[in-house]
Chains A and B, each alone.
Chain A
Amino acid sequence: MPERFVGRSVPRVDARAKATGEALFPGDFSMPGMLHAKILFAGRPHARVLHIDTAEAEAVPGVVAILTAKDVPVNEYGLQIPDQPVLCGPGSSKPGADVVRFVGDQVAVVVAETEEAAARARDLIRVEYEDLPVITDPFEALKPDAPQIHEYRQPSEIHPEIRTEGNLICHHQIRKGDVDGAWSQCDVIVEGQYRTPPQEHAYLQPEAGLAYIDEEGRVTVVVGGQWTWEDQHQIAHALDLPPEKVRVVYPAVGGAFGGREDMSVQIVLALAAWKLRRPVKIVWSREESIIGHCKRHPMWFRCKWGATRDGKLVAAEVQVVADGGAYCYTTNKVLGNVTVTCTGPYEIPNVKVDVDGVYTNNPPSGAFRGFGAPQAIFAAEMQMNKLAEALGMDPVELRMRNLLREGSLTAMGTPIPGGVGLVEVTEQCALAAGWRRTEEGWRKPEAGGKRQGAGSEATRKRGIGIAVAFKNVGFSFGYQENCWARVELRGGAEIEEAILYIGTADVGQGSHTVLRQMAADALGVDLERVRLEVADTATSPNSSGSVSASRMTFMAGNAIRGAAAKALERWRAEDRPAIGEHTYLAPKTTPFDPETGYGTPNFAYGYVAQAVEVEVDTETGQVHVLRVVCADDVGKAVNPRLVEGQIEGGVAQAVGWATMENFIVQEGRVLTDRLSTYLIPTALDVPERVESIIVENPDPRGPWGARGMGEMPFIPLAPALVAAVHDATGVWFDELPLTPERVVRKIAG
């Protein structure tokens, strides 16, 4: 297929509208006769709702309805298992729905003529709670005598890794080779314990939406999300409606990063509009957003890795405990990813991994860019950097001796899918960052520990570090990955207009621009002729899947190619309009074997290496990131400028996670529920130099060779940064974030 648009940095389809303010986000929509909704959140981490008295609240002028648990037809939802009540309280058919399990559980929805009336009434609802014991430490939660946070647990047929006993959400394990017997073959053994913190998505736009009954009688929800089809089905389930009666539309979405994969305002908005037959709008404040949606999983790692003197990895043993918070969300899948990635992108003959996800009364943990890989790769790459030190070997050299290559066996005992770019990204990153390839192997540049300036400046030290990562593209573990698209060609002798129907969300990453480029080339038409009809279940009734797992370019590109080929065939057969519809099915994957973890969990991966240069003020503990080099194997950059945007954005977000984002939860209560206490990087905190190296090593199954990349640039940053800080100071940091105070304490010993 000739490449006229694929590979070019064409301007984004939404650039103009977003720059001029014309683009409408969910909070920007209004309708005549519209009502306003406010949510009463639980505000306490664990309690039984005994009674809800709405009398006083209902008397507030302008209040139209107050909905509670008894008003929800099927009071449950959840992306993996329906373990969360839509509204917590008595009178619900679902057992256990009367318990609130974290501060952000929703108890009532107040609908009123004005926002003020809704807020006033919300504050007048009297809820009688019986407080229950609060468990916030996952290790405590795992103890046999710990109170059970979910009393009525059901086994899941589709997700056998989900457990039903105690507070264990799920367990994954790998048994490859003989770890216990392998330690004797190791010349060096490194043991480490690591702890990674939660992270708030902090997307620009807090949750918002508008629901109404459309001209075809469907309850329609205009909202920000990541997967229209799945939102539609979860709403339909809770409202006990056939999916055709529910419509989900995404306008411009103000960022997602995984945080919009699970429901927030969708079901309650639909419920209110359906019951009241009037448009209902809601806009969450930042504080509501921060307590109301999931976080990156905090994790605890215990690692023991061994290698021979010449740097060949022999064995790795890893135990992981992840705090899943109050509900499952995607914990089982996130931890599947952790299982795959926690021994790094290396070929290791003996592997033993145990991963537990645990319920607590903390805010739920769920999807966040990297989906478990940033945490797992942090532990793995910390181990590798410490091993390099213990072996007296250059960290790049050590990696070169162990990286997965074509045909290498993964920890799951099966070959890594073809088109493996690990050696290339590592080499290119290392060379650009100043490493040299010598007769004796790779040599690190001499930044380490060097003091800067004189006088007081002598306490500023520089260092450099590197890390490498891989992560799956697309859904894993036996889920039949699929993506639907439809192409409609109009015109007479030539194609005048090509309409692409697809259910994908553009959450700011630029996916619609890329889909259009691919459609133009798949059809051989000019870009201007391709019109997008996207992110509306009314026009795209089938599933195109979630914008997550770095999957959309890969999956949608293949779906578009299929649909385009069929449409062109009909075009040649003189159909007007000529229509082609296609559901792309990715190669099959398999679940882990429950005992050994054996299997082929993924059909494609992305590969990335990063080098980070820092300056550490050893007296104040401030860490400044001076430079980041990121080499990312994207297979084919469909739009190079958008790839660079993802690299720069991913780096900024990961710098935040590694150095300053400090999400504090005490006894289940969020202390950092605003952006003045939960600090994310500003323009001044983003590293001045981010050098993007785009590596194009085609994925054999990717459209035009493209593989996914949206998550990759986040993943290796934290361990590379910690290695750089170690290079500067000689101190290892096993816990994030590297706040100045933590750095000073550790340096002082």
Chain B
Amino acid sequence: MLPEFELLMPRTLSEALEMLTQAREGVAPIAGGTNLVVDMRGGRHRPSVLVNVAGLEELRGIRRENGHVVIGATTTVAELLEEPLIAEAAPVLWSAARVFANPLVRNRATVGGNLADASPAADTAPPLLVLDAEVQLTSKEGSRWVPLDEFFLGVRQTLRQPDELLTAIRFPVPPSGAVGGFYKLGLRKADAISVASVAVVVEVGEDGTCRKARIAMGAVAPRPIRAYEAEKLLEGRVLTPELVAEAAHLCAEATSPIDDIRASAAYRKHVVEVLARRLLSEERR
């Protein structure tokens, strides 16, 4: 059963930030509630005050701004799918939204909630990592932009302070030559937590050399992670099958997965290598 709590309904961002600052211990923002309510029912999370940020105008919308795509924190996963800008500029994120949860949850689940929750298996994280995304954290004192890669600290731990809200996510519009993909391996085709996921974006020059490579992985470490060694190996070189295989191997090396009831650590490592190789090979063609 859902424990008792107080629900605050701010009308503006500044009201919300004020509420976060004022509230005693045990305050939590709530957006779609698709993580939080489940956690509260299960007794894993017991906030006594919830600040509902879902209705805040300032946190909504997807727009192009100064060479960036900016996504309001309460943008739902369903809205990512409907927005042509995402499909065009960031197909890697669009692909992740496609296989996210189920249609009902996608209608409520927000991108901000997905990142703030900081599950190792959060499905928008690997695509946003390969897009070099930053998150905006806002408190009464002001705003700061933090690279997503620094935002995640560990299992459900982030840089966010209790009085801060995640207000927006932004990433540079990738150049036209950038291509990428996302693959999530779950134990069924919908509504399954990732056993492992991989996102890839590469920019390949006219001469066939890889200018920039970004690879990120979900559910294979305490937090969503980048495969730095593999990226470094690829940059400045031609993506031959041998090189791709080597990079994929480095991806697996970068993981530190766990055994759980869904899969063994060994299988997760194996799958990451397969998926990374496939995604990188597809980019070669």
Contact surface of A with B, Cβ cutoff 8 Å: 115-116, 119, 455-456, 619-620, 622, 660, 662, 664, 671-672, 676-677, 679, 681-685, 739-741, 744
Check B102 against A682 for contact (C-beta < 8 Å).
Answer: yes
**Bound complex: CA A620 to CA B264 (Å):** 13
A-B complex: 5 closest residue pairs judged by Cβ atoms: A684-B189, A741-B267, A682-B190, A456-B278, A619-B274
- Docked pose: A455 CA to B283 CA in angstroms: 12
C-alpha spacing A719/B275, complex, angstroms:
30
CA distance A119 to B2 in the complex (A): 11
Nearest B residue to A666 via CB reads B261
B10 to A: closest C-beta gap in Å:
28
Does chain A have a CB within 8 A of B271? yes
The answer to whether B193 and A676 touch across the interface, beta carbons within 8 angstroms, is yes
Contact in complex: B188, A679 (CB < 8 Å)? yes
Q: Within B243-285, which residues are at the interface with A (CB < 8 Å)?
A: 261-264, 267, 270-271, 274-275, 277-278, 281-282, 285
Q: Does A685 lie within 8 Å of B189, measured CB to CB? A: yes
Task: Establish whether residues A685 and B270, one from each chain, have CB atoms under 8 Å apart when the complex forms.
Answer: no
What 1/0 mask marks residues of chain B from 191 to 222 whose CB sits below 8 Å from any chain A CB? 11101000000000000000000000000000
Cα-based distance from A684 to B192 in the complex (angstroms): 12
The answer, among B190, B195, B282, for a CB contact under 8 Å with A456, is: B282
Which residues on A sit within 8 Å (CB–CB) of B275?
620
Known: A116-B1, A619-B274, A620-B274. A740 touches B185 (CB 8 A): yes
> 12 additional contacts, CB 8 Å, given A660-B187, A683-B190, A740-B187?
A456-B281, A620-B271, A620-B275, A662-B261, A682-B102, A682-B189, A684-B189, A685-B188, A685-B189, A740-B195, A740-B267, A744-B270
- In angstroms, Cα B2 to Cα A115, docked, is 12
Complex alpha-carbon distance, A662 and B187, angstroms: 10
Q: With A and B bound together, what is the CA distance between A115 and B1 in angstroms?
A: 9
Mind listing 20 A-B residue pairs with CB under 8 Å?
A119-B1, A455-B285, A456-B281, A620-B271, A660-B188, A662-B261, A664-B261, A676-B193, A677-B261, A681-B188, A685-B188, A685-B190, A739-B187, A740-B195, A740-B267, A741-B263, A741-B264, A741-B267, A744-B267, A744-B270
Which of chain B's residues 178-192 have a Cβ closer than 8 Å to chain A? 185, 187-192
B190 touches A684 (CB 8 A): yes
Beyond A119-B1, A684-B189, whether A455 also contacts B281 by CB under 8 A is yes
CA distance A660 to B188 in the complex (A): 7
The size of the chain B interface, using a CB distance under 8 A, is: 25
A744 to B270 alpha-carbon distance, docked (Å): 10
| Inter-chain contact A622/B185, CB cutoff 8 Å | yes
Residues on B with beta carbons closer than 8 Å to the beta carbon of A672? 261
Which residues of B sit under 8 angstroms from A684, Cβ to Cβ?
A: 188-190
Q: Which residue of A lies closest to B279 (CB)?
A: A456
* C-alpha spacing A681/B195, complex, angstroms: 17
Q: Residue of B at shortest CB range from A456?
A: B278
Complex: chain B residue closest to A745, CB-CB: B267
Question: Whole-angstrom distance from the CB of B271 to the nearest CB of chain A?
Answer: 6
With A and B bound together, what is the CA distance between A682 and B187 in angstroms?
A: 11
Q: How far is the CA of A56 from the CA of B1 in the complex (A)?
A: 21
Q: Report whether A671 and B185 are in contact in the complex, using a CB–CB cutoff of 8 Å.
A: no
How far does the alpha carbon of A119 sit from the alpha carbon of B264 in the complex, in Å? Answer: 36
In the complex, which residues of chain A have a beta carbon less than 8 angstroms from the beta carbon of B192?
Answer: 679
- Residues of chain B with a CB closer than 8 A to A662's CB: 187, 261
- Report if A620-B185 is in contact (Cβ < 8 Å); known contacts: A456-B282, A684-B190, A685-B190: yes
Q: Looking at the assembled complex, report how far the CB atom of A364 sits from the nearest CB atom of chain B, in whole angstroms.
A: 22
